[in-house]
Amino acid sequence: MLALLAVLAGAAPAPAPSAPDTVFFAGGCFWGVEGIFEHVNGVLAVRSGYAGGTTVNPTSEQVYRGGTGHAESVEVIFDPDRVTYRQLLMVFFLVAHDPTQLNRQGPDVGADYRSIAFYRDTTERQAIEAMIADLREKHLYSAPIVTEVVRLRAFYAAEDVHQHYMEHHLDDAYIVTNDLPRLDALRKEFPSLYRPGWRG
């Protein structure tokens, strides 16, 4: 009715809001990656989990032991009217982790800590590949980018103890050393995207 009244009054109706969308990343320990994206404007929710492997509903013990093929990953639900897919890729590649580290991230070593940008369709795959090409062309990293570009098969949520870990363990030595500096980098490098407080 309001849209009809707007048309009759000569005003164009307001565009309908976009539905929430989802993106998936793996970039080392999911505690920090989750915490970074929880501070991005337009992100509605973030969940830690496992993706990239073949084992169904893996436990953290199975993933750490190896053989599942999974990497610690995050599911990021966002409002595309407030933050774009490309902006989220920028946060992933430039702040949330180091895409030049192969099968590790900082002190964490193993294939379950590898860098992966997951895609669900051709548009997402092309956007990821374009971002990587752009970073290489600009020589933003001195070492080669080793991020895998992988079609998402499934995402399995991690145990409750891993959810919103950074938010609830800000004094943890691991968080202080490895994750809080990256959160500070998000605030400094992308001030328009940074959101204080937590999205837990």
Q: 3-state SS string over the chain?
A: CHHHHHHHCCCCCCCCCCCCEEEEEEECCHHHHHHHHCCECCEEEEEEEEECCCCCCCCHHHHHHCCCCCEEEEEEEECCCCCCHHHHHHHHHHHHCCCCCCCEECCEECHHHCEEEEECCHHHHHHHHHHHHHHHHHCCCCCCCCCEEEECCCEEECCHHHCCHHHHCCCCHHHHHHHHHHHHHHHHHCCCCECCCCCC
Q: Which one of the listed residues 23, 26, 29, 91 is annotated catalytic?
A: 29
Does residue 29 have an active-site annotation? yes
The catalytic site residues sit at 29
